[in-house]
Structure 1
Amino acid sequence: MSKVILVTGPAKSGKSEWAEHLATQTGKLVIYVATATVNKEDSEWLSRIEKHRQRRPKTWLTWEVPIQLVNTITTPQEGCLLIDSLGTWVANLLEQDQINWENTLQNLCSGLQDAEQDVILVAEEVGWGIVPAYPTGRTFRDRLGNLVRRIAAIADVVYLVAGGYVLNLTELGSPLPPHQE
């Protein structure tokens, strides 16, 4: 039986490190699904990507999947998928209109419920600050927040990583009633 695990939290909190730890603990082949696109002109971005690469075991496979996440999840694989990160994936799809985004979101949630392998997802918490001043920023924040909430509702386990500490929200918290838009 496959498991869906969501790891969420703010920037530089240790989300990816915790997700990598969880993936290692499965004892299965890990397929690291990177949603970022490589921009060779952005040296700071390349440095971030390289730090993630260096931390991963050499036995892990890495797939770069900036858009087609649903296809990756719904195609049966041996092992465990570790998807890092949902925020980058949402940013890659900001050009979608609201109707297409809702369809993408529904397809992702359905794919996760039907997944034949373990799936660990890393997501950023971006809605804890001010409301962005620009429409694109508000769209990103709202879409990611809604996505995290919907995945949390179907996940087997939800972790919050903040300040280098891990909280199992599934054990400590109570889920809200189903979300109504």
Structure 2
Amino acid sequence: MFAISLGDDGAELRPLEPWRAGEFLAHMDRGREYVGRHIGLPDVVTDLDSARSFLRAYAEKAANDAGRIFGIWTGGTLVGGVMFRTMDVEYGTAEAGCWLEPSAAGKGLVTRACRVIIDWAVEERGIHRVEWYASTKNDASIAVARRLGMTKEGVLRENYPHRGVRTDTELWAVLAPEWRAARKGRTGE
């Protein structure tokens, strides 16, 4: 089993695999209301079977090179995650996403975790374009896109039906050359 350190605070990024379904469900139960304000994940993961099914779907995506999912742990507890909801290596595009329970919010965990997975996608997999979709009302997610050096490309009006309400979604993206230039500036390479 591997873990990637996300900094001096002991946070780690690890694969989120089907055998962790119970832990994933417990995490979702702790953050269900908070996570569900802008995304439908807690509406899909409602019991052990649905948690296992969700993680199996991502295991299948990984096997087909079409997506990935990783958990964020602090103090040995799963508190959130990042993912490539979609990944098309042939076309060089991927869509990144994230979620956190309230206890983990505001600590930079998603930004740090996304830097790890975007570095991997760009440098190891040859992804040219990483997209980020966020509800126009999700200030925290939009702030992550900005911190990742993404460019706002537009607003998709009333494109996402969430809990009976159609919401607007901002589309952000970063291209591989932009990502590399920003990383070089962060690390002083």
Query: Which TM-score applies when normalising by structure 1?
Result: 0.31
Query: Which TM-score applies when normalising by structure 2?
Result: 0.30
Quick one: higher RCO (CA 8 Å, sep 6+), 1 or 2? 1
